[in-house]
Amino acid sequence: MGLYTSPHLFKINERIQLNGRAIKDSEFSRLVESYKGFIENIREKFVPTYFDVLTFPLMAYFIQKRCDFIVLEVRPGERLDSTNFCKPLFSIIISIGYDHTDILGKTLEK
pLDDT tens digits, one per residue of 11-40:
998 999 999 999 999 999 999 899 888 888
User: Helix or strand or coil: residue 20?
Assistant: coil
88 lies in some domain: yes
Q: pLDDT tens digit string along 56-108?
A: 888 889 999 999 998 887 766 556 667 777 777 887 777 666 666 676 677 76
Q: Note the pLDDT of residue 21.
A: 95
pTM of the full structure: 0.72
Q: What are the Cα distances from residue 24, in Å, to 5, 29, 66?
A: 16, 9, 17
Could you give the CA distance from residue 32 to residue 2 in angstroms, rounded to a whole number?
17
* DSSP SS3 for 17: strand
Give the count of domains, the chain. Answer: 1
CATH number at 58 reads: 3.40.1190.10
The residue segments making up the domain with residue 85 are: 2-104
Q: Is residue 89 part of a domain?
A: yes
Q: Are 104 and 79 in contact (CB under 8 A)?
A: no
Phi/psi of residue 21, each to 5°? -120, 135
